[in-house]
Amino acid sequence: MGKQRFRPGQIAEDSGQYEIVGPRGGETGEERTVTDGEPFPPTPKAGQGYILVDRTRH
């Protein structure tokens, strides 16, 4: 099973670095920092989403 994918506007369950991925999961090389409880920001192109690549350690 692949990594969980999040859509813009969904609420983040974990703080960390999230990579923007294409509609079929292709990597873009772009990352965003998202904080637990905050919504994911809009993506540059329609159909893109986010996957967690580095969870913040507390």
Structural contact between residues 52 and 16, judged by C-beta atoms closer than 8 angstroms: yes
Instruction: Say how far apart CA 58 and CA 50 lie, in whole Å.
Output: 22
pLDDT on residue 3: 84
Confidence class for position 25, pLDDT limits 50, 70, 90 = confident
- Taking the model in full, what pTM does it have? 0.89
What is the C-alpha separation between 27 and 37, in angstroms, rounded? Answer: 24
Q: pLDDT value at position 1?
A: 44
Percent of the chain with pLDDT over 70: 95
Task: Write the pLDDT tens digit of every residue in 29-51.
Answer: 999 999 999 999 999 999 999 99
